[in-house]
């Protein structure tokens, strides 16, 4: 059960990867707590269906087709937030995925094509950087905002998923740098690095010290806390929510 005391009244959130998984759950939960939501996803049909459900429940939401590999698409999502809802207060970059799995390619690094490698770096690493570049001018104008990057336990440990691990490890440095850059304007930046999460059944097979994978809501609640006024003194840090996997 996600904390009902977290409040986003008057805020606008842009969420990539909003058409499924934790991006979808975050969109719904933030909308329930007063946020206007821009659901940014390459799957426009599904994103629009979720937006319609949010609106039917009394919330505010709009879907924008967004290929996070393209800066113009990300900029369009930010511009839509401002034109439709008047501000861009929160971003959460959920869009991502292990490229071999997402593209049905080889898992052995030396067998992976340059196109697969580029996809993995672009979606998991470059897209959050693009998001920061697109939204910072608006947040600076507003004198405030929160940028949430999504890392991974794979960025904290050695894994066979070399491309994914490389991109996700970059979220630590990106988060620190954006936090430093934005602080004078009242802009915060944090990173959440999940371990295995039950958005897919296969995640239950990943070992953790606690002996289980996380429920999606456990990660989403942390994201929402950091994005809310409850986390107002938190910036520049990465929060590892891995059930103790790294310390095993």
Confidence category of residue 99, pLDDT binned at 50, 70, 90: very high
> What domains, with CATH codes, occur in the chain?
12-240 (3.40.50.720)
Give the pLDDT score at 3: 77
Condensed to tens digits (0 to 9), the pLDDT of residues 172-195 reads 999 999 999 999 999 999 999 999
Condensed to tens digits (0 to 9), the pLDDT of residues 201-244 reads 889 999 999 999 999 999 999 999 999 999 999 999 999 999 99
Q: How far apart are CA 33 and CA 137, in angstroms?
A: 26
* Residue % of the chain over a pLDDT of 90: 96
User: Helix count (H) and strand count (E) of the chain?
Assistant: 8, 7
Does the structure show a pLDDT above 70 at 1?
Answer: no
Average pLDDT over residues 26-38: 98
Catalytic sites, residue numbers = 164
Cα dihedral 61, 79, 4, 217 sign: positive
Burial grade of 224 (CB within 10 A; 0-12, 13-18, 19 or more) = buried
> What global pTM score does this model have?
0.97
């Amino acid at each position: 059960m996600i904390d009902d005391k977290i409040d986003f009244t008057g805020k606008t959130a842009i969420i990539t990867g909003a058409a499924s998984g934790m991006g979808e759950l975050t969109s719904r939960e933030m909308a329930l707590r007063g946020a206007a939501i821009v659901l940014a996803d390459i799957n426009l049909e599904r994103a629009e269906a979720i937006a319609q459900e949010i609106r039917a429940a009394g919330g505010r939401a709009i879907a924008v087709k967004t290929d996070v590999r393209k800066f113009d698409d990300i900029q369009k999502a930010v511009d839509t937030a401002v034109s439709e809802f008047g501000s861009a207060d929160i971003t959460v970059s959920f869009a991502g995925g292990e490229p071999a799995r997402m593209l049905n390619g080889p898992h052995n690094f030396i067998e992976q094509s340059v196109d697969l490698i580029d996809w993995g770096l672009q979606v998991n690493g470059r897209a959050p950087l693009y998001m920061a570049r697109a939204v910072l001018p608006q947040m600076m104008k507003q004198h405030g905002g929160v940028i949430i990057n999504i890392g991974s336990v794979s960025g904290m440990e050695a894994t066979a998923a070399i491309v994914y691990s490389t991109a996700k490890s970059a979220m630590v440095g990106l988060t620190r740098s954006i936090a430093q850059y934005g602080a004078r304007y009242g802009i915060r930046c944090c990173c959440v690095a999940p371990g295995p999460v039950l958005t897919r059944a296969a995640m239950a097979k990943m070992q953790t010290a606690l002996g289980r994978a996380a429920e999606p809501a456990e990660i989403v609640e942390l994201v929402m806390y950091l994005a809310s006024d409850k986390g107002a003194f938190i910036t520049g840090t990465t929060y590892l929510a891995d059930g103790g996997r790294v310390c095993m």
